[in-house]
Amino acid sequence: QVQLQESAPGLVKPSETLSLMCNVSGGSFTTYYWSWIRQPPGKGLEYIGSIHSSGSTNYNPSLKSRVTISIDTSNNQFSLRLTSMTAADTAVYYCARIHPYYYGVDVWGQGTTVTVSS
């Protein structure tokens, strides 16, 4: 069965860029939407954006100016870049698979904690 595993940058300094990668194993990479979702401490889930296996992207309007999601289908990986990090970006970041039919998350990565601090 498909498994997702995020890389773990841990600590990012204010104003720097967050780079995360998600490795996908055990399933088909095509057809699905591959997404990033985050959860600040004590708060709810926030959709960051997604990329289809074809390469088309969609982003949360509130983050769109700072987000880039890319895909590497040959290595079954997709990545997140989030620029100009601030303390408000401190969160658990999940990579996730979105089903193309009902557009809900059917597979989650385990999540990686990102802390923004100098």
Partner 1 sequence: QSALTQPPSVSGSPGQSVTISCTGTSSDVGGYDRVSWYQQQQPPGTAPKVIIYAVSNRPSGVPDRFSGSKSGNTASLTISRLQTEDEAFYYCSSYTNIYTLVFGGGTYLTVL
Choice from 22, 24, 29, 109 touching partner 1 (CB under 8 A): 109
Q: Look at the block and give the residue holding tokens 């990565």.
A: 109
* 10 is a site residue for partner 1 (CB under 8 A): no
Q: How far is the CB of 52 from partner 1 (least distance, A)?
A: 10
Cα–Cα distance, 104 to 31 (Å, whole number)? 14
* 16 is a site residue for partner 1 (CB under 8 A): no
Stretch that binds partner 1, among 11-19, 40-48, 65-73, 75-83 (CB under 8 A): 40-48
